[in-house]
Amino acid sequence: MTSAREFDFLVLGSGIAGLFFALKAATHGRVAIATKKHRAESNTNYAQGGIASVTSKEDSFEMHLRDTLEAGAGLCREHVVRTIVQEGPARIEELIRHGMRFTERVIPDSNGARELDLGREGGHSKRRILHAKDMTGREIEQTLLAAAAREPNISMFENHVAIDLIVASKLGVAGPQRCLGAYVLSKQSGEVITFAAPIVVLATGGCGKVYLYTTNPDIATGDGVAMAYRAGAGIANMEFIQFHPTCFYHPKAKSFLISEAVRGEGAVLRTLRGVEFMDHYHPRKSLAPRDIVARAIDNEMKRSGDDYVLLDITSKPARFVMDRFPYIYQTCLQYGLDMTKDPIPVVPAAHYQCGGVITDLNGQTEIQGLYAIGEVACTGLHGANRLASNSLLEALVCAHRAVLRATTQSSPSLNVPVPPWQSGHATDPDELVVVSHNWDEIRRLMWDYVGIVRTTKRLERARARIAFLQQEIQEYYWDFTVSADLLELRNIATVAELIVACALQRPESRGLHYILDFPKPDPAWAQRDSVVRKPS
Ligand code: FAD
Ligand code: SIN
């Protein structure tokens, strides 16, 4: 039996939130980062458009605040938005000090002086998106990983999947719930390692893989939300799953996003017959907030029976497109499409989880010693629909604030030994087809019944089906030794259950939650979150 590995901070996840937290925490103590695949594999790594922040004289915090509130459809917490918007520029300065290189442009009539090149995306009234061409996430991830590699106080555990949080109540300790560490599966050895730390940080990202079609990479299985829920933390607003309007439609291009910045630079949406349609839906046309554009595309596809719509940037000079969007241009080319000459076939796909583990602005969850930052958290910034490029910003600001909180407000030591993982009588799995079948079934039923347009009947059907699958997965979980696939299946089932539970709580349509039985927003729900907690 191996004893617990002890650290001052245990960070689960190595995207922008986890790495930014770890870099700051490392000046206060020893930090372990457990991450379930290669260290760079994260949603962060695939971010294209950039980070929204006020850096130009033509822009203001008030305008960024207003755009965020408008996109959020009445559900954002204004003080949260204000704080994150105002603290953004200082965090971006720090990112630049770590070595991040944002794209610059030459200021016209300035003898070659340069300034940050600001992109534009849906819902933004000003150009305010800092970007590294269309590979912003990769540049951020590489910058932060390089900084973390220089930090002796950070230990990185790749291919280590967190299974569950270790909480005091499960060890028979009375009093407020407290997190003491996590059980983590080493994929190489198959061993379950006990990590003990007084501060545990969920930075596990989102849950796009709960849906059949998503822009997210395979890591996005909602593990953090599922673990926090099992540990007793409150989870809010999971019905607000953001569908990105423009995912590349090609049988072989898995999850490839066509950035909203392409529309920001003038691309327009058309039907297969070449007709622009967004002017029927919103005055900002193709640059309307994301929920409106995704629903408009869904509607056009249902009306016409077409499998996709077209995103057309052929009116722009080819040189400009190739220089501004080199990654998207090259990727489309690999699939035989030259976006400078032909419109791009696109469809909406699950993209971002606006709800999550309930936290304050400092990432503090309802459980002492447990923090949640980045996409896994629900701070109140996004409300019912996230404004484009606000998530990388939120991750930076809240990671910073979480370190400040965690290092100034520690709880007294509990002195309880953290027990090792109990595998009971588990044996090796007999029929792996159960895992793959249930995985496919959940993702398809979420797409069909809990997608862009919902009905109460479909949600109830989904709830019943998920409950049945949960039962089967639970039996499998207790009988057989854990594997990464089984853990992810258990987590997507839990997150699917939570999305449906939140959706059924909200008897109105608001932002990303559009339900035909209640097609209008209800003022009584304007500032109400849907909240779920595990029954004790
Ligand atoms: P992630 O970057 O997803 O990192 C999560 C980490 O947790 C990963 O390292 C993962 O391996 C690890 N992990 C997960 N589960 C476990 C577990 N059980 N055990 C151990 N480790 C675990 N937002 C913007 O603001 N601007 C953009 O331009 C933008 N573009 C996007 C483009 C794409 C294609 C996608 C998918 C998202 C985009 N987003 C964008 C959203 C943004 O990228 C994410 O919200 C943000 O990167 C989340 O950061 P994070 O650190 O919270 O999580
Ligand atoms: C994009 O580049 O379109 C993604 C931006 C975001 O999700 O914030």
CB 201 within 8 A of CB 392: no
CB 312 within 8 A of CB 270: yes
- Is 415 within the bounds of a domain? no
Mean local confidence (pLDDT), 202-227: 98
Mean local confidence (pLDDT), 327-355: 98
Nearest CA to ligand 2 atom 1: 259
Q: Is any ligand 2 atom within 6 A of the Cβ of residue 350?
A: no
Ligand nearest to the CA of 206: 1
- Point out the ligand 2 atom lying closest to the alpha carbon of residue 351: 7
Helix (H, G, I), strand (E, B) or coil at 33: strand
Q: Is any ligand 2 atom within 6 A of the Cβ of residue 48?
A: yes
Pairwise CA distance, residues 420 & 233, whole Å:
22
- 214 shares its domain with 187: yes
Single out the residue in 304, 330, 349 at which a domain terminates.
Answer: 349
Pairwise CA distance, residues 365 & 251, whole Å:
41
- Point out the ligand 2 atom lying closest to the alpha carbon of residue 258: 3
| Confidence tier at 3 by pLDDT (50, 70, 90) | confident
Q: Is 60 a residue whose pLDDT tops 60?
A: yes
User: Measured in angstroms, how far is the CA atom of residue 133 from the centroid of ligand 2?
Assistant: 13
Ligand 1 pocket: which of 204, 263, 325 to mutate (most atoms <8 Å of CB)?
A: 204
Ligand 2 pocket: which of 103, 140, 257, 346 to mutate (most atoms <8 Å of CB)?
A: 257
Phi-psi region of 380 (alpha: psi -120 to 50; beta: other; left: phi over 0): left
- Point out the ligand 1 atom lying closest to the alpha carbon of residue 216: 36
**Active-site annotation holder among 39, 91, 263, 290:** 290
Q: Is 518 a residue whose pLDDT tops 90?
A: yes
pLDDT at 1: 52
- Point out the ligand 1 atom lying closest to the alpha carbon of residue 204: 7
Residues of the chain above pLDDT 90, percent: 90
> Comparing 21-25, 31-35, 151-155, 469-473, which segment has the lowest mean pLDDT?
469-473
Q: Is any ligand 2 atom within 6 A of the Cβ of residue 312?
A: no
Q: Is any ligand 2 atom within 6 A of the Cβ of residue 68?
A: no
pLDDT tens track for 277-305: 999 999 999 999 899 999 999 999 999 99
Ligand nearest to the CA of 18: 1
What rounded mean pLDDT belongs to the chain? 95
CB 129 within 8 A of CB 263: no
Q: Is any ligand 2 atom within 6 A of the Cβ of residue 177?
A: no
Ligand 2 pocket: which of 43, 103, 389, 391 to mutate (most atoms <8 Å of CB)?
A: 389
Domain with 474 in it: what CATH number? 1.20.58.100
What is the CB < 6 Å shell around ligand 1?
12-18, 34-37, 41-44, 46-51, 136-137, 161-162, 203-206, 215-216, 219, 223, 257, 352, 374-376, 389-392, 395
- 185 shares its domain with 276: no
Single out the residue in 341, 374, 408 at which a domain terminates.
Answer: 408
Domain tally for the chain?
A: 3
- 490 shares its domain with 503: yes
pLDDT at 489: 96
68 alpha-carbon distance from chain centroid:
17
Query: Phi then psi for 532, rounded to 5 degrees?
Result: -125, 140
Q: Is 132 a residue whose pLDDT tops 60?
A: yes
Beta bridge partners of 20: none
Mean local confidence (pLDDT), 509-513: 97
Nearest CA to ligand 1 atom 52: 374
- In eight-state DSSP terms, residue 142 is H
Size (the chain), residues: 536
Domain with 38 in it: what CATH number? 3.50.50.60
- Is 85 within the bounds of a domain? yes
CB 233 within 8 A of CB 376: no
- 330 shares its domain with 362: no
Phi-psi region of 305 (alpha: psi -120 to 50; beta: other; left: phi over 0): left
CB 46 within 8 A of CB 257: yes
- Is 27 within the bounds of a domain? yes
Q: Within 13 Å of residue 40, how many CA atoms lie on the same side as its CB? A: 13
- 234 shares its domain with 249: no
Q: What is the pTM of this model?
A: 0.97
Domain with 284 in it: 245-349
- 60 shares its domain with 97: yes
Q: Is any ligand 2 atom within 6 A of the Cβ of residue 136?
A: no
| Confidence tier at 197 by pLDDT (50, 70, 90) | very high
Active site residue 290: yes
pLDDT at 414: 75
Mean local confidence (pLDDT), 77-105: 98
Domain with 300 in it: what CATH number? 3.90.700.10
Residue type, 413: S
Q: Is any ligand 2 atom within 6 A of the Cβ of residue 259?
A: yes
- When comparing pLDDT for 290 and 76, which is higher? 76
- 449 shares its domain with 300: no
- 28 shares its domain with 146: yes
pLDDT at 2: 64
| Confidence tier at 342 by pLDDT (50, 70, 90) | very high
| Confidence tier at 426 by pLDDT (50, 70, 90) | confident
Task: Please list, in sequence order, all residues whose beta carbon lies within 8 angstroms of the beta carbon of residue 366, skipping any fewer than 6 positions away.
Answer: 177, 232, 233, 234, 358
pLDDT at 358: 98
- 155 shares its domain with 33: yes
- In eight-state DSSP terms, residue 52 is E
- 204 shares its domain with 261: no
CB 521 within 8 A of CB 506: no
CA angle 409, 411, 412 (to 5 degrees): 135
Ligand nearest to the CA of 261: 2
Task: Please list, in sequence order, all residues whose beta carbon lies within 8 angstroms of the beta carbon of residue 430, skipping any fewer than 6 positions away.
Answer: 480
Ligand nearest to the CA of 47: 1
> Comparing 143-152, 203-212, 287-296, 345-354, which segment has the lowest mean pLDDT?
287-296
Q: Quick one: CA torsion of 68, 74, 76, 80, rounded to 10 degrees? A: 80
> Comparing 154-163, 312-321, 394-403, 419-428, which segment has the lowest mean pLDDT?
419-428
